[in-house]
C-alpha cells in the first residue's frame, strides 16, 4: 500500500472510535492501577511490537513504580484486515525474567491467539507475576479464551487503526483510534 497524497491517506479514516482525550484518561487510570498493585515494587513492562509501542511509551510515563521496558514482536497480520491465524514470535526478550513482575502491554486483543502464545511462553520463564494490560479488547472475535487483567477499551468487531495500530504499516501516527475504511 502506498499513498500519493495526504487526502488519499485521510480518506481511509472512516470515523474516530476512541478519542485522544479518552485514551489519555484511561492510561492515567491504568497507571494508577499498576501503581496500586505493585506498591513500589519494580516492574518490567513488555511491549508487543509494533502496535503497542505508542501505548507503552505513554503507560511507562503514567506509572510511578520503578520500571524497565522490554520488547517482543509477534505477528499474525500480513497486509490484511484478517488475522492469518498463525502467530510468529519474531523478536524475543533479551533478558531473564524469573525475578521480575511482568506486565505485558498489548495494543489489541482480537482472536486471543497472540496473547495466549506470548503468555504461555513468558509464564514458562517463571516471572514473579504476570499481568496483561491491553489498550483495546475485541471479545466478539475471540477464538482462544483469553482475558486481559486490564482492558482499557472494549470495541466492536471493526478493523481499527491509529495510536500504534496500522494497516500496511501506515496510520500508526494517528493520536486516536479510528475505523479503517476501504
Mind telling me the catalytic residues? 110
Nearest to 95 by CA among 66, 72, 65: 72
CA end-to-end span of the chain: 12
Q: Give the 3-state secondary structure of residue 55.
A: helix
Q: Give the 3-state secondary structure of residue 22.
A: helix
The answer to whether the CB of 39 falls within 8 A of the CB of 72 is: no
Q: Give the 3-state secondary structure of residue 52.
A: coil
State the Cα–Cα distance between residues 17 and 89, nearest whole angstrom.
29
Nearest to 148 by CA among 139, 157, 140: 139
Positive or negative, the CA dihedral 169, 174, 180, 182 is negative
State the Cα–Cα distance between residues 57 and 59, nearest whole angstrom.
6
Amino acid at each position: 500500500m502506498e499513498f500519493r497524497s495526504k487526502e488519499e491517506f485521510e480518506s481511509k479514516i472512516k470515523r474516530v472510535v476512541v478519542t485522544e482525550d479518552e485514551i489519555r484518561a484511561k492510561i492515567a487510570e491504568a497507571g494508577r492501577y499498576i501503581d496500586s498493585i505493585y506498591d513500589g515494587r519494580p516492574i518490567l513492562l513488555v511491549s508487543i511490537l509494533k502496535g503497542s509501542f505508542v501505548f507503552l511509551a505513554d503507560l511507562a510515563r503514567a506509572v510511578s513504580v520503578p520500571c524497565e521496558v522490554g520488547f517482543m514482536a509477534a505477528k499474525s497480520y500480513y497486509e490484511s484486515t484478517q488475522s492469518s491465524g498463525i502467530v510468529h514470535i519474531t523478536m524475543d526478550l533479551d533478558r531473564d525474567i524469573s525475578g521480575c513482575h511482568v506486565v505485558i502491554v498489548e495494543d489489541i486483543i482480537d482472536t486471543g491467539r497472540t496473547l495466549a502464545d506470548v503468555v504461555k511462553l513468558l509464564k514458562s520463564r517463571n516471572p514473579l507475576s504476570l499481568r496483561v494490560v491491553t489498550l483495546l479488547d475485541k471479545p466478539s472475535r475471540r477464538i482462544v479464551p483469553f482475558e486481559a487483567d486490564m482492558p482499557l477499551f472494549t470495541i466492536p468487531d471493526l478493523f481499527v487503526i491509529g495510536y500504534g495500530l496500522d494497516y500496511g504499516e501506515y496510520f500508526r501516527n494517528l493520536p486516536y483510534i479510528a475505523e479503517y475504511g476501504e
